[in-house]
Amino acid sequence: LAKTTQPISMDSYEGQEVNITCSHNNIATNDYITWYQQFPSQGPRFIIQGYKTKVTNEVASLFIPADRKSSTLSLPRVSLSDTAVYYCLVGSRNSGNTPLVFGKGTRLSVIA
């Protein structure tokens, strides 16, 4: 699995857009990028997955540049309830046994 690097923590005020960047220099051709969110004392929750360019859903957008060596999770207009740990994971959709492997993630604190 490609190694990922994310900031350990970020702070943001309510209503701001938050961008969390993940580096994955060794990403392979078949690898996808997936982001999970974990609230305190809860299990991780899938947010978004992408391969290249831009993916958007009702929760977030994921921007992936052409070289795919990094990706940016964008949370529009965050609220206090977006305070959580955000994990970037990279892995292949074509390999057999590929359990999700979590890193330390980015702890986002949203301030009123």
Partner 1 sequence: EPEVTQTPSHQVTQMGQEVILRCVPISNHLYFYWYRQILGQKVEFLVSFYNNEISEKSEIFDDQFSVERPDGSNFTLKIRSTKLEDSAMYFCASSESQGFRGTEAFFGQGTRLTVV
Q: Give 98's Cβ-side CA count (13 Å radius).
A: 13
How many residues line the site for partner 1 (CB under 8 A)?
28
Q: Residue 52 corresponds to which tokens in the numbers above?
A: 């290249």
Nearer to partner 1, 58 or 96 (CB): 96
What does each C-alpha distance from 30 to 5, 24, 26, 35 come to in angstroms?
Answer: 19, 13, 12, 17
Nearer to partner 1, 13 or 46 (CB): 46
Question: Applying CB under 8 A, which part among 9-17, 57-65, 70-78, 94-102 lies near partner 1?
Answer: 94-102
Residues paired with 3 in a beta bridge: none
Q: For residues 33 and 50, is the Cβ–Cβ distance under 8 A? A: yes
Region 8-47 residues binding partner 1, contact defined as CB under 8 A: 31-32, 34, 38, 41-46
Nearer to partner 1, 49 or 74 (CB): 49
Q: Can you give the binding site for partner 1, defined by CB under 8 A?
A: 31-32, 34, 38, 41-46, 49, 87, 89, 91-105
